């Protein structure tokens, strides 16, 4: 039986190509000058954090929420 390393077990890519492209586009929009503007500063921080998370996920091809829910659309 093949032994699986920790990296393979926890960081296996689970995002498909289209999902990664859409996350990158969303991050580009939320982190750029076109980001939505709201009166509350905490909402702006939330949008910025979500934008950075989407950007990192688009490059890694891995989503923690997908892993927790056992969703794998890598082949889609």
Domain boundaries, the chain: 12-68
**CA–CA separation, 39 and 45 (whole Å):** 11
pLDDT in tens, 35-50: 888 889 999 999 999 9
Write down how long the chain is. Answer: 76
Whether pTM > 0.85 for this model: the answer is: no
- Where the chain has pLDDT below 50, the residues are none
- pLDDT for res 1: 55
pLDDT at 3: 61
Helix (H), strand (E) at residue 27: helix 17-31
Residue recorded with tokens 């498909």: 16
Q: How far apart are CA 27 and CA 50, in angstroms?
A: 8
- As a whole number of angstroms, the distance between CA 75 and CA 71 comes to 11
Task: Identify the pLDDT of residue 62.
Answer: 92
């Amino acid at each position: 039986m093949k032994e699986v390393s920790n990296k393979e077990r926890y960081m296996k890519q689970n995002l498909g190509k289209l999902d990664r492209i859409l996350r990158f586009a969303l991050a580009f929009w939320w982190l750029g000058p076109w980001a939505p503007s709201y009166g509350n500063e905490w909402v702006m921080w939330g949008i910025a954090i979500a934008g950075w998370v989407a950007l990192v996920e688009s490059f890694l091809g891995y989503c923690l929420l997908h892993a927790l829910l056992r969703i794998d659309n890598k082949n889609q």
